[in-house]
Amino acid sequence: MYCSGCGRALEPGQVVCPQCNRPVAPAVPIPPVPNLQFELERYAGKVRVLGVLWLVYAGLSLLLGFAGLAFVRGMFQGGFGPWMHGPMFPGWFGPAWIHLAWLVLSIRAVLCAVAGWGLLERTQWGRIVAIVAAIVCLIKIPFGTALGIATLVILLGYRNSTLYDQPGP
């Protein structure tokens, strides 16, 4: 605490400034914020639901992506019945793109799963990873876009970052 007249540092409990003899104003207690606990519980519920949705999205994305890549692999190898006479593209083309797609799919699924786990644990890094995952998944129409927008709305902004940092229930 400092003197309002001369700016000298004051000891706790001093009633008069020893330098300028100005009386020290008593400390005004900060009133409690109304309904703060209700807001924290409501926000914590939103973050929990968001964490579960990221985990479900990671699992479904991985499962459907692997099924789609198995289909594409069969198409590149010419395994779709008698109407396809040989592979569709040169032999080197298909495996290169399939391996790249497996890598991108796996990295995106791991990012989404880590985001969900971080949000469920309510860690600061989990919030950051969820924002990054939301931006990455915005182009995955319709579910990735919806989940990305919901994540950005719930986690961004001063009020939401303040609520996220509060110890929740």
Kindly report, residue by residue over 110-158, the tens digit of the pLDDT. 999 999 999 999 999 999 999 999 999 999 889 999 999 999 999 998 8
pLDDT over threshold 80, residue 31? no
Label each residue of 88-99 as H, E or C: CCCCCHHHHHHH
Summarised one tens digit per residue, pLDDT across range 64-118 is 988 988 887 777 666 555 555 555 555 566 677 788 888 999 999 999 999 999 9
Structure tokens at 69: 């890549």
Summarised one tens digit per residue, pLDDT across range 53-62 is 999 999 999 9
